[in-house]
Amino acid sequence: MRSVRFDADLENRVERAAKRRGVTVSDFIRTAVRRECDAVLDTAEPEENWKAILRGNPNGEEWIKVLDGFIGSVEGDGSSADEAMDDWARTIREHNWRE
C-alpha cells in the first residue's frame, strides 16, 4: 500500500474527474497510475551503451578508439565511468562530431 499527498488544487481536480467518470477516487488514481506506468515501461529504452551510441555514426569508430582509453579514468559527478562515457558519447553525437 502506498500513500500519496495532493495539494488542494490537485485533490479537487482528481475528485471532479473521478466523479465525471463515475468511479471512486481510488479507482481513478489506480487507472491513471497504471496507464502512466504502461506508457513509460512499454516504451523501448534508448541504447545507453556509449559504444553503441557512437557506432554507425560518422567517425564513430575513431571516437570509440580515442575514448576507450579513458574508461576508468574519467572523473565526474560520482557516476560510474561507463555512465560518464555514455554522456560523452551523447555530447559528441549532439555536437555534430566537432571537437
**Residue 2 resides in a domain:** no
- Yes or no: say if 70 and 50 are a contact pair by the CB < 8 Å rule: no
Q: What is the pLDDT of residues 7-23, one digit of tens each?
A: 999 999 999 999 999 99
C-alpha angle 9/16/36, rounded to 5°?
80
Report pLDDT for 62. Answer: 83
- Yes or no: say if 97 and 86 are a contact pair by the CB < 8 Å rule: no
Q: What is the pLDDT of residues 65-95, one digit of tens each?
A: 877 766 545 455 555 666 666 676 677 666 6
Overall pTM > 0.75: no
Are 58 and 88 in the same domain? Answer: yes
**Residue 29 resides in a domain:** yes
**pLDDT-derived band of residue 28, with 50, 70 and 90 as boundaries?**
very high
If we measure between CA atoms, which residue out of 17, 93, 6 comes closest to residue 52? 93
**Residue 13 resides in a domain:** yes
Report pLDDT for 56. Answer: 74
Quote the number of domains for the chain.
2
Are 57 and 76 in the same domain? Answer: yes
- Asked whether residue 32 carries a pLDDT value surpassing 90, the answer given is yes
